[in-house]
């Protein structure tokens, strides 16, 4: 059984930065492509960024140049560095495999970008 625990969210002013972390347990972490997803109020959950076990990355057009996904296979952790944040980045951020497994969804971490 895979367990994912996200952390690092919070309240930040526009233009600020946050680094999200996701610790994965109960699996052979390094074989999975991992992704960060987000769900804004009254919107569907969307995929933001992905990273393969070997480190190749993909990004949604809306975050290219602002967000960076990375992973540390020794620590079973995937990160999302978010820079130059805007109010439209406000959402609950989740990590999961790509494609996502329904049973893996955790509580997520709230990111709020506001003055």
pLDDT, one tens digit per residue, over 26-41 is 667 888 899 999 999 9
Report residue 47 CA to chain centroid gap.
9
pLDDT at 104: 87
Percent of residues, the chain, with pLDDT higher than 70 = 97
pLDDT, one tens digit per residue, over 5-34 is 999 999 999 999 999 999 998 667 888 899
CA–CA distance, 41 with 51 (Å, rounded to integer):
25
Q: Above 90 in pLDDT, residue 44?
A: yes
Cβ burial 86-97 (10 Å sphere, 16+ → b, else e): eeebbbbbbbbb
Rounded to the nearest integer, the mean pLDDT of the chain is 94
Q: Above 80 in pLDDT, residue 1?
A: no
């Amino acid at each position: 059984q895979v367990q994912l625990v996200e952390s690092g969210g919070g309240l930040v002013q526009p233009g600020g930065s946050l680094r999200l972390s996701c610790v994965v347990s109960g699996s052979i972490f390094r074989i999975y492509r991992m992704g960060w997803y987000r769900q804004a109020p009254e919107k569907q959950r969307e995929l933001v960024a992905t990273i393969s076990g070997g480190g190749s990355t993909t990004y949604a057009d809306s975050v290219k140049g602002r967000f960076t996904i990375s992973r540390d296979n020794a620590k079973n952790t995937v990160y999302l560095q978010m820079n130059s944040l805007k109010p439209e980045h406000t959402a609950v951020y989740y990590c999961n495999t790509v494609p996502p497994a329904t049973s893996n969804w955790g509580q997520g971490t709230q990111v709020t970008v506001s003055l």
